[in-house]
Amino acid sequence: MDIGIFGRNNPVTRFIEELLKNNGINVTVLTDNSIENAIRQIGGLDYLILNHSIPVNRKVIESVPVRSRIIEISPVKTPYKQFSGEITSISLLRESDENTVQDYMTVIYVDDISVKGNEEFVRDIFRGFRFLKMGIEEHERLASEILVKPYVMALLSRKFSDLEFNPSTIEYEKILSISRIISNHNIDEIREIIRYNPYSSEIFEKMENDLKRVWNELSFY
């Protein structure tokens, strides 16, 4: 079997490449950002895995004649809703910062986007990994809690990191440590996850209300 990977040069792309090769699959990695090259390559491949930005992924999907060969890997699913039943859509949950195959132990298969009949193929590729199946809305709500919320908190914490105090306190250092959540991440990827998740606004609204509530509680003293 021949599978191509068109994606950013990031840990997820490297993880997928290593995993496929360990499974005896011929892998072609395309990280030159050329949409035209990716479209040309798909004709000679059994599958093409997309791990690029959402606009680039969508452009490739819109341009290929046989979309059933596409496997899209993204932490946001709403932008791919229009391709339901035509592509395969999965997410990978990263559980440590070591950037090895063992770090990605949970695969989410989005069944109301994915081509019918491809589930077993995906299970086989990721055999040994935890496998979950859910719909778009459930996925987006989960991602808003376990990805969007931590990323927003880290971005806020990073605003504090511009200020250095000597002496400092344990409490202040712990605030700064939250910013390290995104220290090894591409900031554009983080912004994309927040921007395209339809429940991000709820996260911001809840945080704003919680801050107001804390302030009001303190105002009684």
Long-range own/partner contacts, residues 58-62 (CB < 8 A, 24 or more apart) = 59/35, 60/6, 60/35, 61/86, 61/87
Rounded to two decimals, the pTM is: 0.85
At 62, the pLDDT band (50, 70, 90 cuts) reads: very high
pLDDT at res. 183: 76
pLDDT at res. 95: 65
pLDDT at res. 42: 77
Q: Which superfamily is assigned to 2-134 in CATH?
A: NAD(P)-binding Rossmann-like Domain (3.40.50.720)
User: What is the average pLDDT across 71-86?
Assistant: 96
At 221, the pLDDT band (50, 70, 90 cuts) reads: low
Neighbour tally for 103: CB within 10 Å: 15
Neighbour tally for 148: CB within 10 Å: 24
Amino acid at 92: L
- For residues 167 and 52, which has the higher predicted lDDT (pLDDT)? 52
pLDDT at res. 161: 65
Task: Enumerate the domain spans of the chain.
Answer: 2-134, 138-218
3-state secondary structure 123-165: HHHCCCCEEEEECHHHHHHHHHHHHHHHHHHHHHHHHHCCCCC
User: What is the average pLDDT across 38-59?
Assistant: 88
User: Hey, CA dihedral for 162, 165, 166, 167, is it positive or negative?
Assistant: negative
pLDDT at res. 35: 80
User: What is the average pLDDT across 40-67?
Assistant: 89
The highest-confidence range among 38-52, 156-170, 199-213, by mean pLDDT, is 199-213
